[in-house]
Structures are given as structure tokens and as C-alpha cells.
Structure 1
Amino acid sequence: MTQPTRSASLHAPSSAPAGGMPEVVDQVALARLYGEPLFAMPTDLYIPPDALEVFLEAFEGPLDLLLYLIRKQNFNILDIPMAGVTRQYLQYVDEIRSRNLELAAEYLLMAAMLIEIKSRMLLPPKKTAEGQEPEDPRAELVRRLLEYEQMKLAAAGLNELPQIGREVLRAQVYIEQSLQPRFPDVSVSELQDAWRDILKRAKLVQHHKITREELSVREHMSIVLRKLQGRRFVEFEELFEVARGVPVLVVTFIAMLELAKETLIELTQAEAFAPIYVRLAYQPA
């Protein structure tokens, strides 16, 4: 909403040229002012009356103006002297009507409300049907003023808080590692699908032999680490010895999970549904 303003004009005195026409050099004018040739730079300065305005006071709306008048006179907001406040309010409205009639419409509405309240206070009060005392005509206006003042103070408090871009700026740090491609993390469901595919392939080449073999998870952890040693990436399927049967595959898979839990290996995938690769975890020097 545009803020109404009370303005005052500043006039700069103008002085007439002391002499006649300045000396003309080769009949060449420096410029033209209102169609007239200007042969020399002016020695004085003239400012039109409406060229400069000084803003004295600005208000956000009728309630802001009314609250300003009450606080400026140190009136009790719960017992507003309507005659004095209405008179000062109408003086301000008459001033802005001469400059911006469209803006003054909202202020005229509040002025009508003030005059109505003042008129109702001059009439003798009438009791209600229940025999109770009538409500003070100023009660609704007081309620609106108190709510507006509360919101205005809250807005001023928020404005005093530090704001990004005004009191503080975000720190920006250039990190070269951010330029490196970041591979998406491997989800549990994708790891399960890859494991099921390994089991299906193992069942196709399995042999019906009944044997008892003691398998060590720690031993297979060492086997996996040896296969990864010196290699940048190893495909997930290459770490399993399908020909040795399902028990060895299970122990190898458990060994890989233990290594991943101890952050000794990393599982990466370039994109969704792409092959899963295993590599040794990065160890800083």
C-alpha cells in the first residue's frame, strides 16, 4: 500500500542575469533552454517550486495515523478524547486530499467512523433489552488499535533480528572434491537382487555331494581383501566362487557384509540397475 506523506516545498531563489547577453563566440550556442540558445554557462541556480519535496511523516494507513495521534498526545487508549483526536485527524485528511484524492479515500472512511463514534457519545446511552449498560461506542475502535499496535511492535521486533543479506552473509567455500562424481549409494533391495541372482546361478551348477566342511568367515574376509588388493574396482559377482557351492557363497557374502560393516570395503554403483562394484575403502595417509 502506498504511504501517504505530508510534504513541504523548498524554493530556491533565482537571480536575474546582471548584464546583457554574453559574448558570442562564432555564434555557436552551448545548449538550448526552452528553445532559446544558451551561449554561456549560467552563474546562478534556479529550482522550480515543485522540484523538491521533503517528506515529514509517513503512515501505513488510517489506524497507523490514529495510533500516532493518540501516542503523540499521551492519551489513554482506553479512554480516547474523540473531539481532539477527530479534529487532528480531519486536519491531516484535508491535507492529503489536496495531493492524492484516491489515497485519501481510505482515510475518509476512518474519518466517518470517528465522527459517528463522536456523535453516538453525545447521545444519551440506552440500556439493552436485558437491562445491561450499553457498550462504549469506542470499544471496537480501541480493540482494533490495540491489535494493530501489538502487530506493529511484533513486526518491529522481527525486523531487529539479524537477517541474511543485511547483517550476515552466507559463507561460500570452494572444495575441489565437490567436482568429483558422486556415485549413488547401493540400497538394500538392490543388494538383495544381486544376491538372489548369484544363488540362481549357483543352483544351475551345483553338485549333489553330501560333505561336511567347516568354513571360517574371517578366512573368507581375508580372501576377499586379497582379491581386491591392487585393483581399483572388482565386479560384485567376481568375488564369488560359484563352483564351490552354496555354503561357500553364503560365507563369502557374510564376509563381505562384515567388511562393509567395518568400513574396509565400499560398494558402489554408477547408476540405477547398473552393475555393483566392490573396492577397498579409502585409507588416508
Structure 2
Amino acid sequence: MDIKLKDFEGPLDLLLHLVSKYEVDIYDVPIVEVIEQYLAYIATLQAMRLEVAGDYMVMASQLMLIKSRKLLPKVAETAVEEDDPELELLSQIEEYRRFKVLSDELAAQHDKRAVYYSKPKEELIVEDAILKQDKSVMDLFLAFSKVISAKQEEVKNSHTVIEKDDYRIEDMMALLNSRLESESSVVLTGVFAGCQNLQEAITLFLAALELIKRQQVSVEQEDNFGRIILRKGA
């Protein structure tokens, strides 16, 4: 079963997505929280054996440096540093945001102008699922990143057990359907609570995506970074 997630256009696009959720000025966002969410997203891609582009990994190393500096105890400041990597990063995100706004405006003008001309038939590419309150499948994936990060830490701290890879997406779909038949809704974090290992959690997540694509399950998120709720039916 081939499940595809919408990719970001690059590491700055992912960071802008995370930063914009705080609905404050870019220079006022809690940068450590944003960095942790970015690193969790990259770790989840790796856990799912998905290829991670090199520029994402370069950005991850830069973010880890910024995070380490933010977490170190501050000593008496003797002089202002010439190069502030955090300020430089936020400036890059702000510059990227401006260019993206201009790009969106140009695309809108292009679409408006294009209605006056006959165009050849084009393949329409749409999102497999749209979450309520202007959410997207990527919001679901980012929420799953938090779950998988916690599960990785749990596995690392437990005894090493080699388990057979025999989880099937179809079985997990049936499991989710069964739970939603007996419960009006289930919380995403609660769904993964009983998973014994990463492979089971990943298979369960892919099953949830497939149910969303088939419109057998609807998804809600009450607020930014809030809990993800699954309900029966689209």
C-alpha cells in the first residue's frame, strides 16, 4: 500500500509552518519548542524509513547548536556576540515568509488570468484528507511525530527485544474501526498507548491515514498543537 505525505518545499518551509502556528511575531516564538518539533519530525521520517534530504539534516545540526546554546546557563555578558545563530535563523525564516507571500500572490494572479484562456487537460492533485479548522494531513503527521519520539525513548530505556515484523495495515484498519464502533471518538495519543514497539505504531498510523483517505474516519484538532481526535465517518 503506497501512502504519500505532502512534502514541505525545504527546511525553511517546515520551520515557517511550525513558527506560524504560534500566531505571534516570528522573533517572539519559543525557539526551543520549534526546534524540538522540527527534530521530532526528522526523527519520525527516519523511523518510518523515509528518505530525508540532506538540506533537512544540515538544518537539524544548526538547530541542535542553537538549542544547546539556549539551554546552557548564561554567564555575565561581557560583550554582544557578533554572530547570533538564533537571530540569523529567524531572519531567514522571516525573509522566506515574505518571498512565499509574494509567490502566493503571483500564483493567485496567474490563476485569475488563466481563466480567460483555454488550457489543455491537467491532472488535478488534491490532498487525500482535509482536517477541520483549516488543518492538513501534515498537522496529523506532526502530532504523530510527538508520539513516535516518546515511543522511541520508551523503547531505548527498555530491554532489547527482537520482534517479528508481521503487522499489517489492513489489520490495524479493522482495529481502529472496531474501536470507533464502540466509542464515539478516540484520541490519537490514546490509540498509540498500547503499541509495543515502533513498527506497530507506524503501521497503526498508516492505517489511520488510509481510513482518512477513504473518508471512513474524520479528524479534528481543537487548537494548535492540541490533541488529535478520530471520529467515525467523514
TM-score normalised by length of structure 2: 0.42
Structure richer in helix, relative to its length:
2
Return the structure number with greater relative CO, CA threshold 8 A, min gap 6.
2
TM-score normalised by length of structure 1: 0.36
Over alpha carbons, which structure has the higher Rg? 1
